[in-house]
Amino acid sequence: MRIVFFGTPDFAVPSLEALLTERAHVVGVVTQPDKPQGRSRSTLVPPPVKRVALRHGLPLLQPERPRGDVFLAALRHWQPEIGVVVAYGHILRPDVLALPSRGMINVHASLLPRLRGAAPINWAIRQGLQETGVTIMRMEPGMDTGPILHRIATPIEPTDTAGTLTQRLAGLGADALVESLALLQMGRLMPEPQDESQATYAPKIDRRTARVDWGGDATSVSRGIRAFDPEPGGWTTLGGVEIKLFGARPADGSGRVGEVLVTEPALTVATGAGAVEIAEVQPSGRSRMPAADWSRGRGAEPGQVFE
């Protein structure tokens, strides 16, 4: 089966590597363009999926947008039978979805129809779900609305961050993808329509979403910080300076909402009900560091209030 692979970030790498390990016939890879980084924006950094493709000598496309006659002609030249999409980062138009002779499938990081959209891992933690997983589905023009081919579930642990959960789901997604393609070739997959009445959504994360709401209880504040760890980082301000927070967990204590209760042996902050302990911080313009070290350097003192 001739496979064209669409993907960009680290989350997609295990799926591509699993296909190559299983000696799947990957005829080409589509990923996003290299991104400029550094102060002068002069250093181009390739997407993680591109590095894997180059290491294995795979044909590669990096369009700004996956559309247009030139892009379609390049895809058509590969003669793909099936497309695999894993966290590519662009919505594919109907003419692209229809190009592989056996259609396109997607590895989505939730148990569909729950958490359709761009940021299912972040929202699963923030909403306090007990379980999430990966879904293999047939793609259609709607947003994650296609019929389900396969699902694998995993519990969300109380200490999970977006980073740890992403890593676990990436591995599960690779396993589910390989199994699904094998069953598909044998004609043993039965597509299951999604129950629209159960659908929920996970929109893109913006700056406002990642701001810490100290008025919630300790559990919800902790989840709100873990949901954006490591990226983009749940943030707050102290004395007008922006601070990102990481490694939060509920703790004993009470005080004014957002009040720093103690800084030793750990930074503990009051919430609307209870308190949270913060493991690490990242002040604006500085590197991530242990919260206690930051406090010893006059970063925070008891009685100050995060806003």
Give the residues of the chain that fall short of pLDDT 50: none
Q: Give the whole-angstrom CA distance, residue 291 versus residue 299.
A: 9
Mean pLDDT of the chain: 95
Question: Is the distance from CB of 16 to CB of 85 less than 8 angstroms?
Answer: no
Q: What's the pLDDT at 266?
A: 86
Q: Give the whole-angstrom CA distance, residue 293 versus residue 299.
A: 8
Locate 200 and state its tokens: 């929920």
Domains and CATH numbers, the chain: 2-198 (3.40.50.170), 218-296 (3.10.25.10)
Q: What's the pLDDT at 222?
A: 97
Q: What's the pLDDT at 252?
A: 94
pLDDT tens digits along 184-201: 999 898 999 999 999 999
Q: What's the pLDDT at 264?
A: 86
Question: Is the distance from CB of 148 to CB of 112 less than 8 angstroms?
Answer: yes
Q: What's the pLDDT at 39?
A: 74
Contacts of 272 (CB under 8 A, 6+ apart): 214, 215, 216, 217, 221, 257
> If you write DSSP's letter for every residue of 276-300 in order, what string do you get?
EEEEEEEETTS--EEHHHHHHTTS-
Which 8-state DSSP code applies to residue 116?
B
> Residues of 262-280 as b/e, b for ≥16 C-beta within 10 angstroms?
ebeebbbbbbeebbbbbbb
Contacts of 224 (CB under 8 A, 6+ apart): 126, 212, 213, 216, 234
Q: What's the pLDDT at 41?
A: 77
